[in-house]
Structure 1
Amino acid sequence: MKENKYDNEQFFAAYSQFPRSVEGQSAAGEWHELKKMLPDFKGKRVLDIGCGFGWHCLYAAERGAAKVVGTDISEKMLKVAKEKTKYPNVEYRQLAMEDLDFPTDSFDVVLSSLAFHYTPDFSEVCGRISKCLRSGGDFVFSVEHPVFTALGTQEWVYDQAGVASHWPVDHYFTEGRREAVFLGETVVKYHKTLTTYLNTLLQTGFAITEIVEPRPAPELLETVLGMKDELRRPMMLLVAAKKQEGR
């Protein structure tokens, strides 16, 4: 259940050439919206779950975070993150999100970018986050949108001329395992409804403060191939929440 496709040599090589892997947040279509949802990092203890190449860890450190811990299941991803990181208060740990076990009140901010659709048990992960996040602390994350993950194939339907005619949504209410082809490899993800994402937060002690279905940054529409099609359906879901006092 803890798939680690990112340590596959062929997949990792392809992923390393992906625009957001090379250029970081500037090539991420959702970043212009996500960064507005992030709290003030100055003096904060920050946890980044599924940190990948460490872009968000560096962003927090650059903005005065007192301590940043990035976790990821991929040894290869963490190797690159460590090579890029010069801040002594940033550390990385190879750890699956389902195995998070930090002491109570360890962090003031928890972040996660495009990781939670890889876990079959979002509730378990949220419970572990709630434990290590202080009361009143911030929890901000992005996931692939349920409209994007519902069918599983994650591919447009094309007409006879080879033009993308529409995005298929089917089996929306049937949650669970999906298989998609990404960068030439079969990748396992876990579809969850919007209701599940939001209610799980409420049930594990969080108050939702903002929800965004981001459109791509305008400057990327002309420079990134296929980005204009991202205006036709939501690809991502961004959520900001706070741990309720006394939870």
Structure 2
Amino acid sequence: MSKVADGQKFNAEMSSCTLKEIFNQDNSNLNWLAMADLKIQNSRTAETTYKKEEAFIVNLKGDVTVSVEGKDFRVKHYDMLYIPIDTPFTVSHAGDEEGWLYIYRAVGEVKYEVYHADWEACQKDEERIRHLNRKIVYKMFDVSENANKFMVGYTFYQDRTRAWPPHNHTDQEEVYSFIEGHGAMEVYEEDEFKTFVPSVEVGDHITIPVLNYHPVFSHEEPLCFIWCISGERYWVGDKNKDFMTAKVDKLTT
């Protein structure tokens, strides 16, 4: 005689998968961007579909598998995965180290293809790297990939370094997510109104509405952040060479 399966007891404290909404268009002063924080261990998420929003998964810790329309993608540390609008996906994790992911979302209309951005490969591709004074930019998801509004990458600062020149955008909004070190960041419309100057550390996210300058400062240790752009698709240093030469006091793109 077959044995009837036993019941199981669960409560919220036992959860092996926690998804937290960090910000969205209602509370961030942004028009298109939203993001969530996902912690997962030895578990699988329910199938998720973002209607009219493209999604971008960034893996901060652990090793996860993202299943998209019947295909599995292994997303390793600092890898990224682009999910088109209206496309169901699940995230699975197995292992001793908890998986930690950021999931960015941006409003879109066109459904493009899934794209896996490999961190190890990006570090070897000089076409995706921009060397600035005491900092390096990695363009993980660039204009060469198809998307409605997204561009995403990493910036690594050495210690005691600042962004120069300060810049803003007429057609892009952003969020900076800090993932290594600590420092400070300014967000302001004009020098006269430079009042938002918070300290930043791992787990902090700073939203940058259109037309705000947004310089970052590292302190006594290196600093790294994810930059996630929604809007017109270009990287500031490729559009305006003054950003690379740093021969101006500030610039607008």
Give your verdict on TM over 0.5: no
Larger relative CO (CA 8 A, sep 6+): 1 or 2? 1
Q: Quick check: which one's helix share is greater?
A: 1
Q: Quick check: which one's strand share is greater?
A: 2
TM-score normalised over the length of structure 1: 0.30
